[in-house]
Amino acid sequence: MKIAVFGTRKVRLCSVSAMYDKDSLKAANRDGFVQFTFIEALLDQRTAILAADHEGICIFVNDICNADVIEQLSALGVRFIALRCAGFNNVDLEAAAKLDILVARVPAYSPEAVAEFTVGMMMTVVRKYHKAYNRVREGNFLLDGLLGFNLHGKTVGIIGTGKIGLLTGRILAKGFNSNVIAFDPYPSPLAEEYGLKYVSDIDELFNKSDVISLHCPLMDSTKYIINDDSIAKMKKGVVLINTSRGGLIDTYALIRALKTGHILAVGLDVYERESSYFFADSSAKVIADDTFARLLSFYNVFMTGHQAFLTEEALTNIADTTLKNLRDMRETGTCACLVKAS
């Protein structure tokens, strides 16, 4: 079974530069059932031709798999699309269904990885670890500008209570004794056990939270869930964390709120137009996206490059599930992680 893997990236592990996608997928392919072709380029209309002579493709969050691309893939004989991530907003599922292309994802590779990273980012933003680290390296031991606040006793709002949202809430509720409230149109029966309390509507969460953390998928109903109107309902001095999807936040509205001081600080592992910059070294380039450049210029914005998932355990789980999805789709015409148009 020949599979074209788009967007394979290098990462420095233990002082060795390695392609983590390639290494983890090869390790999971124990019986050689899949013959991989690893491609550094992202999937889009220009690169889809690279999938020629392959039964399927394997893609990540920033690959473009819209209707035009899917038509090209179908014409090339591609029958399977395996997402090595949980989100699937970058795939036109209706177009895939019309052309009998099966789509599968990895719904829960390591929710602990993202949850732990989220809380770490929250602590960094609140206690300013990153600023202290840079100061001390330069011999500056002043504490000016490093004042933070306790998470103990604070109200933290979790939007989206899938596995990651629940685990993030549990860490905060059980570990920090925070008052964790949550909103999700589909409440989880585990929420109470994990220490989360649901509110009646999302406006109540906006009104009450000292810190808000986003953990919902990107869909039409959640796009720009953080906007001018929702920000206006938040407490002045709220802290906002997003380790989910960039499109959940209207960046222009976020910038306006940062300029007025309504939002105290922000931690972001994602950005709505991240595909032009993330997973690549742009340190010697000019950032042409003026909105992104402005966001990075704020002293109270802490950003990382979509790394919340990046642990050894997560990569192993992603690769194992991806291989199982491909095998099942090929041999049975379906799989447990199949994604269909609603």
| CA–CA gap between residue 330 and residue 310 (Å, rounded) | 28
Q: Which of 54, 170, 215, 306 is catalytic?
A: 306
| CA–CA gap between residue 339 and residue 97 (Å, rounded) | 10
Q: Which of 274, 294, 312, 331 is catalytic?
A: 274
Q: Which of 84, 170, 245, 330 is catalytic?
A: 245
| CA–CA gap between residue 204 and residue 212 (Å, rounded) | 12
Would you call 274 a catalytic residue per the annotation? yes
| CA–CA gap between residue 70 and residue 306 (Å, rounded) | 25
Q: In this structure, what DSSP letter does residue 43 have?
A: P
Query: What torsion, rounded to 10 degrees, do the Cα atoms 179, 245, 222, 174 define?
Result: -20
Strand partners, 3: 36, 56
Q: Are residues 268 and 232 in contact, defined by beta-carbon separation less than 8 angstroms?
A: no
CB atoms within 10 A of CB 335: 21
Tokens of 112: 């602990």
Active site residues: 245, 274, 306
